[in-house]
Each structure stands twice: as structure tokens, then as C-alpha cells.
């Protein structure tokens, strides 16, 4: 489990309507984090081949929620227990 001040990568993969990787996408993705964590660096990045990574610093143990959004795409949310 992650502890105080650990660093984790959150990787976002874009999928098309058939749930296949959207490898041709260069969409801009915004990541929001709530709970005992914070984004290290920019919270908005452009995908490369439909994938983008964000660096997350954890605080105390507990639950964090990650929310990835992009204009014209479905917003997805994930909750993780640290």
C-alpha cells in the first residue's frame, strides 16, 4: 500500500466507442484528484497515441478519487484505497 508522500503514476487510456484503444487520439485530458493525494505537475496534458500519465503524491492513507475528463469524451472516475 501507498504511504505518506509516496509517488504513484495514474495512466489514462482513451478508448473508442467499441472499447478499443484510441491510438490515433491526441485529446487533452484533465485529471482531478480528491482525498489524501495531489497531482505533481500539470493537471491537464495532451495524450500521445491515446495515453497520458500523471504523477500523484499521496498524503495519509485513506481513499482517493481520480476523475479524468476531456471535451467531447466521457468523464471517468475511479476510487482507490491507499
Q: List, for residues 25-81, the tens digit of each pLDDT value.
A: 999 999 999 999 999 999 999 999 999 999 999 987 789 999 999 998 999 999 998
d(CA 61, CA 49): 33
Among all chains, which residue has been given the C-alpha cell 484505497?
Answer: 81
What pTM does this model have? 0.89
Q: List, for residues 58-73, the tens digit of each pLDDT value.
A: 987 789 999 999 998 9
DSSP-based helix, strand, coil % in the chain, nearest 5: 0, 55, 45
User: Which grid coordinates are listed for 4?
Assistant: 505518506
Amino acid at each position: 500500500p501507498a504511504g505518506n508522500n509516496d509517488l504513484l503514476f495514474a495512466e489514462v487510456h482513451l478508448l473508442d466507442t467499441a472499447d478499443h484503444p484510441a491510438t490515433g487520439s491526441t485529446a487533452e485530458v484533465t485529471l482531478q484528484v480528491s482525498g489524501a493525494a495531489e497531482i505533481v505537475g500539470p493537471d491537464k496534458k495532451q495524450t500521445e497515441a491515446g495515453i497520458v500519465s500523471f504523477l500523484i503524491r499521496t498524503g495519509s492513507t485513506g481513499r482517493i478519487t481520480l476523475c479524468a475528463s476531456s471535451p467531447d469524451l466521457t468523464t471517468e472516475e475511479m476510487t482507490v484505497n491507499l
